[in-house]
Amino acid sequence: MSVAFGKLGDMARLHSVPEWVCPPLRAVANIELFLLAEYRRTRAPQALGSWVSLSWLGAGAGERTPGPLGEGLPSEAVAWSSMLVADALAEGEPYPPSEWWAAHEIAPADRFTSEAWELRASDSYVRHYMHGAVVALGWLLGDLTDPRLMAPVFNGVATRIPAAERELCRARLWALSESTQPATAG
């Protein structure tokens, strides 16, 4: 995974977002805090993938920070390429040929090896994590407009989260995306 689990509580709240981020700061910050609490409650890999994608934006100017696919500087180009890679991994697709990487302008140094790809694509936990990253990055980039897609489906032991709990999560995500007030962790 791209984030050290011991650092989950040490991550700072967002104080700004780059200009390429479509949702307002308050919505991103509120949902980031909520997803951290949701991950702590359920251990859902999808919540973790979404949370890491949002918390990645908390890097200071020129500061590298854990992102959805590894440590790096948050930028629009990296967000788009990370979303494409995460989507292919979430779908369990085979390792892409070099033409695919080049077409998406992913530098050779930023590409997974075929072994690292296979390891991730064959692990259901990682695939759910990647799905969380895809929906969060899509929301940040304006490609997906519904933050409720970040509601996790499976908890950390691969048990389906009950529909009523998931619906409450979806409602909270929607409310937080529309809110102008700061969220609390509870």
Alpha-carbon distance of 39 to 72, in angstroms, equals 22
Give Cβ neighbours of residue 174 (< 8 Å, ≥ 6 apart): 146, 147, 148
Predicted TM-score (pTM) of this structure: 0.88
Strand (E) positions, 24-156?
65-66, 71-72
Interhelix angle for 114-121 vs 76-90, to 10°? 60
Give Cβ neighbours of residue 29 (< 8 Å, ≥ 6 apart): 13, 14, 15, 182, 183
Q: Which of 68, 74, 62 is nearest to 19 (CA)?
A: 74
Measured from the Cβ of residue 74, the count of other Cβ atoms closer than 10 Å reads: 22
Apex CA 38: angle with CA 71 and CA 43, to 5°?
70
Token readout for 27 is 């919505």
Measured from the Cβ of residue 156, the count of other Cβ atoms closer than 10 Å reads: 15
Q: Could you tell me if 141 and 76 are in contact, meaning their C-beta atoms sit under 8 angstroms apart?
A: yes
Q: Could you read off the pLDDT of 118-136 as tens digits, one per residue?
A: 999 999 999 999 999 999 9
First to last CA, the chain: 26
Alpha-carbon distance of 16 to 24, in angstroms, equals 9
Q: Could you read off the pLDDT of 145-157 as tens digits, one per residue?
A: 999 999 999 999 9
Paired strand residues for 71: 66
- Residues in the chain, overall count: 186
Alpha-carbon distance of 120 to 160, in angstroms, equals 21
pLDDT band at 184 (very low <50, low <70, confident <90, very high): low
Q: Could you read off the pLDDT of 15-60 as tens digits, one per residue?
A: 888 999 999 999 999 999 999 999 999 999 999 999 999 999 887 6
